[in-house]
Amino acid sequence: MSARIPPHRQSDQIIRRLEREIYDARSTVIRLMPADVQKVIDEFYACKTRTELGAWRRRLMRYIISRAEILPKHRYSGERAYCPLCREGPSSSYEEGFSIPLGLERHLDRATTGHGCSVMEVIWEFAHTSKSEQIEREERRQREAEEAEAKARRAVETLWRVDQGAPKLINELWFSEQARDEESLAVAEGRLAQIGFKLSVDGNIKSYMEETESYIVYADPRVQGRIEFKVYSKTKKRKKSVGADHRSFRLPDGWKNKLADKYKAGLEDVLSRL
């Protein structure tokens, strides 16, 4: 019979069979765990996101560490124990057990890279493989919802031209940055007026720019705590491969006096390096 199946279908079948066998082997390992550990392991079924899966893994690690049997203390200064899952200790021959909690934690944690506890690795791979499709689906759904929301907002909210890319929403920032509220934004726009920037409005797009024959500066007042200036040369083209196509500098909110002078000094410095 197998001679009639094309070779690529045969290898597909072999891969599927091996996947099933790996799944069965991993679930057997988990079924051999004590009931209380199994109960904590089973909590991964409820995880819907990568973050939740990570939190579950840390919860499981803490639980396993809490179950470690501490070795008699007389020979050691701190607490030590063998791994309750694989029964192993560190590779060095003059130490018994892992230090608690850090040594054991590292042993369990490194299981996700295949260099730590072999039993924890089986548990992690089982959970990760079982959940990866659902997590990817959920992440795609979240991404699409965010994109749809941003698209809807772009049609009605103020957009900011802060560089030579597409205009941005007020909170389209880097992860660590926080957008200003209305009051703080008004103060920042007041500071730009003090420096000499004029507001341009084009439909729902606002921008503060300074343009000369040799350069363009885009001011970005959206980020809490500072105004960012991006400077583009009109005469020299910076290669994309070398890094950004512009240079930037900033005016922190803490700077109160002689803003125009400080702006000028920042700009001159950047222009000398453009």
Positions touching Zn ion (CB under 5 A) are: 83, 85-86, 117
Task: Please report how close the Cβ of residue 111 comes to Zn ion at its closest, in angstroms.
Answer: 8
- Give residue for tokens 């890279």: 113
Task: Give residue for tokens 């700009």.
Answer: 267
Instruction: Please tell me the distance from the alpha carbon of residue 97 to that of residue 90, in angstroms, as a whole number.
Output: 6
Taken as a whole, the chain contains a residue count of 274
Asked whether the beta carbons of 233 and 260 are under 8 A apart, the reply is: no
CA distances from 181 to 163, 172, 178, 222 (A): 21, 14, 9, 9
* C-beta closer to Zn ion: residue 123 or 135: 123
By beta-carbon proximity to Zn ion, the closer residue of 87 and 151 is 87
Q: How far apart are CA 91 and CA 32, in angstroms?
A: 25
Q: Which is nearer to Zn ion, 120 or 159 (CB)?
A: 120
Least gap, CB of 136 to Zn ion (angstroms): 29
Least separation in angstroms between CB 120 and Zn ion = 6
- Cβ proximity to Zn ion: between 60 and 117 the closer is 117
Is the Cα dihedral 57, 62, 68, 74 positive or negative?
positive
Pairing of strands 80-81, 98-99: antiparallel
Residue 73 CB, shortest distance to Zn ion, in Å, is 22
**Shortest Å distance, C-beta 107 to Zn ion:** 6
Which of 113/212 has CB closer to Zn ion?
Answer: 113
